[in-house]
Amino acid sequence: MTFEDKINDLIEAALRDRTDLFLIECMISSDHHIRILLDGDQGVNLKTCIEISRSIEHNLDRETEDFSLEVASAGVGNPLQNRRQYTKNIGRKLRVERDSEPTLEGVLTAATETDFTLEWKQREPKPVGKGKQTVIKKEILSYQEIKSAKVLVN
């Protein structure tokens, strides 16, 4: 079993009883610096990061492999990478960058396994007469068509 396989097994074991948590990313450098990024349905606090870190660290032998371990929560500024993060952030404002389309900013109103829905207000000319009116726009976006999506903080 490789060092990476052992780390992945330990992460899986640590998260098995914590169904509210999910792995966003695990990076292991060539010098065995382990960086684990977690998120949760109700967020991730410092205590949770410490618990997961200890669960992993206590099952590794520093005599066999020298390593450093960092367990962190996905910050607000980080792009959304997991579909569960979209569900968690329903009702919040997102900035969505797409490959060939303009960037969108709107409120995340729904998320499914294949896509998510953004809504925003936009000023448009009235159909009759002069002036503008505010209309609510809505777009359903596939996860595959986006480059990045970030939660915007007011």
CATH for 131:
2.30.30
Query: Final residue of a domain: which of 73, 91, 120?
Result: 73
Domain enclosing residue 24, as ranges: 3-73
User: According to the model, what pLDDT value does residue 108 have?
Assistant: 97
User: According to the model, what pLDDT value does residue 7 have?
Assistant: 93
Query: Do the domain assignments include residue 78?
Result: no
18 burial (CB, 10 Å; 0-12 / 13-18 / 19+) is: middle
Whether the Cβ atoms of residue 150 and residue 79 lie closer than 8 Å to each other:
yes
Task: Establish how many alpha carbons lie within 13 A of residue 84's alpha carbon, considering only the half-sphere containing its beta carbon.
Answer: 13
Query: Do the domain assignments include residue 67?
Result: yes
Of 59, 68, 72, 69, nearest in space to 1 by CA: 59
Find residue 104's DSSP bridge partners: 96
Q: Can you give the pLDDT of all 154 residues of the chain as single tens digits?
A: 888 999 999 999 999 989 999 999 999 999 999 999 999 988 899 999 999 999 999 998 888 888 999 999 988 778 999 999 999 999 999 999 998 889 999 999 999 999 999 999 999 999 888 899 999 999 999 999 999 999 998 7
User: Both 50 and 25 in a single domain?
Assistant: yes
User: Both 59 and 121 in a single domain?
Assistant: no
Query: Residue 116 is encoded by which pair of tokens?
Result: 């998510």
Of 43, 68, 47, nearest in space to 151 by CA: 43
CA distances from 95 to 30, 85, 106, 148 (A): 34, 14, 7, 8
Q: What is the pTM of this model?
A: 0.81
Find residue 106's DSSP bridge partners: 94
User: Both 19 and 60 in a single domain?
Assistant: yes
CA distances from 124 to 34, 87, 137, 138 (A): 51, 30, 11, 14
Number of structural domains in the chain = 2
Query: Final residue of a domain: which of 49, 73, 97?
Result: 73
23 alpha carbon, distance to own chain's centre: 9
Query: Do the domain assignments include residue 24?
Result: yes
Classify residue 15 by its DSSP letter.
H
* Residue 150 DSSP SS3: strand
User: According to the model, what pLDDT value does residue 100 have?
Assistant: 83
User: According to the model, what pLDDT value does residue 10 have?
Assistant: 93
